Structure 1
Amino acid sequence: MLYPRIIPCLLVHNKGLVKTIKFKEGKYVGDPINAVKIFNEKEVDELMVLDIDATVEGCEPDYKMIENLAVECRMPLCYGGGIKTAEQAEKIFSLGVEKIAISSAVIDNPSIVKELAQKVGTQSVVVVLDVKKKMFGGYEVVTHNATRKTGIDPVKFTKELEALGIGEIVINSVDNDGIMKGYDFNIIDKVKEIVTVPMTVLGGAGSLDDMGQVIKRHGIISVAAGSLFVFKGKYKAVLINYPKHDEKEKLINENYKGIE
């Protein structure tokens, strides 16, 4: 049976782990490998690692870092950052990664989705859409750590991406990133209403209850978070954490009503 997944999202900057607020003010929170080791012990559902330097700096993916992460990781690993070609994706898969995430590359060249799906399989192609509220209403997709506007409506674009063969869509709220006051249901509801592929939401989780609200509302959906799993307490002390098995089971059982 399918169940909602709870996914830590780790951001890599200058080879270290950071946490941002609205995609800015990156705070160093530790070493990526150490974080993976801790998450291994906590038996997380899946791990997402995004290199936020690669695309901005126009660099190739850091294959050595990816290999080190994949060797250590005992849960499904999704990597994103700097991927522009099917050849790069194939090399990353050869290192032991289960999924690749693309973002700006699909804006520049939507057909890359079809090419990647043919090379590595639809189920392994994840598109991350960083979305930001527009000044006069609505949302648009932004890229390069929210420094570039695209004018693209994320809801309409999701349908286009589905037709091209994506395996999963991640909606990442720039406005809610690091705020820890809950997810943006306005954009989540709009996309979930029309999407048929698996969907993950990211940006804003401040508690397990925030995740529970998403699951209760949308059933089989993945909830991801960064700050929630690297900070602890009101003073946000750095502490890698993840719900214990019974806590996760309770969260899902109380909010998930079964296959829709």
Structure 2
Amino acid sequence: MLKKRLIGVVTIYQGRAVQSIGYCRYLPMGKPEILIENLDRWGADEILIQCIDRSLEQAGPDLALLKRIGALGLSTPLIYAGGIRNAEDAVKVVSLGADRISVDSMLWDSPWHLEKISRELGTQALIVNMPVRVGGNYFYWRNYRAQQEVYLDEEILAKLPFEWASEVMLTDWVHDGVANSFDPRLLEFFPLTKKPLIAFGGLSEYSQLQDVLAKSNVVAAGIGNFLAYKEHAIQQLKRQMIGTPIRPAQYAQEGYEL
């Protein structure tokens, strides 16, 4: 059986790790390297670094940050998101230690670059992130730079080259930073039912994570702010999630069995 993953998410704004609330409020949390190193030690299956201001400022990927992270000697696979404009940017990011990349603005600006990136790095290296919400019987996709959203209908879906990405991350931006509030309808109503999904936004409690990861099309759950509240939060969640087909910790610890 395929083991599912818990992804530790570190949100970075203006060079600092922040607690994100609704993608509009940001509370400082400190140096990104410290949070990332902690997630590596505490047993995250993957670490996602999302630099949320890079695309807004058209600044490109934060290569200096990636160099500093590369010097940490992480053993956990790294996903990078933020400012990636084309295949050249994607290759630079991977050359500096990222195992995979995630893109968001590219879907709005230049979706044809997904194919170019996939041909350079492989489909498994590419994740598409979509900030979304459900309203009534409709599915809405948010452009965070323009602060606007569109109804995700069949016409728009047909234009998006999802075949070049390995997974789609559905971000519940409405409940971002709000504990135990992820909207499960996002997973039920997403039109691409056969595409592997990553759930993110408002995930914090083990019972909630169990329900999300039990869905056949969900391969991973991302947790951001809530992992910074106490040490070893991922290990504690894995202890509680007995019976869920989730990856065990990368290392054995006395008294810790899954």
User: Residue type matched to 1:106 in 2?
Assistant: L
State the partner residue of 1:84. 85
The Cα of 1:244 is off from its aligned counterpart by 1.9
The Cα of 1:220 is off from its aligned counterpart by 5.0
The 8 Å contact of residues 70 and 97 in structure 2, kept in 1 or not, is answered as yes
SS at 1:118 equivalent: helix
Aligned in 2, Cα 1:105/1:20: closer, same or farther, shift over 3 Å?
A: same
Deviates more, 1:179-188 or 1:119-128: 179-188
Is the aligned partner of 1:254 residue 2:252? no
State the partner residue of 1:93. 94
Question: Deviations for 1:82-133, whole angstroms, at most 9, x for unmatched residues?
Answer: 1011000001111111111110111222211111111110000110001134
The 8 Å contact of residues 5 and 46 in structure 2, kept in 1 or not, is answered as yes
The Cα of 1:150 is off from its aligned counterpart by 4.2
TM-score when scaled to structure 2?
0.85
Question: Deviations for 1:18-43, whole angstroms, at most 9, x for unmatched residues?
Answer: 01111122001121101122112112
Paired residues in the alignment total 245
Structure 1 gaps, min length 5: 232-238
SS at 2:214 equivalent: helix
In 2, Cα distance between equivalents of 1:71 and 1:155: 45
Structure 2 gaps, min length 5: 247-258
In 2, Cα distance between equivalents of 1:227 and 1:28: 11
The 8 Å contact of residues 113 and 164 in structure 1, kept in 2 or not, is answered as no
The 8 Å contact of residues 219 and 256 in structure 1, kept in 2 or not, is answered as no
In 2, Cα distance between equivalents of 1:228 and 1:150: 27
SS at 1:74 equivalent: coil
SS at 2:128 equivalent: strand
State the partner residue of 2:234. 243
The equivalences for 1:146-157 within 5 A come to 147-153=146-152
Aligned in 2, Cα 1:220/1:13: closer, same or farther, shift over 3 Å?
A: closer
CA RMSD in angstroms, aligned pairs only: 2.4
In 2, Cα distance between equivalents of 1:224 and 1:180: 13
In 2, Cα distance between equivalents of 1:226 and 1:163: 25
The 8 Å contact of residues 14 and 53 in structure 2, kept in 1 or not, is answered as yes
Between the two proteins, what is the percent identity of the paired residues? 20
Deviates more, 1:66-75 or 1:85-94: 66-75
State the partner residue of 2:5. 5
The Cα of 1:156 is off from its aligned counterpart by 7.2
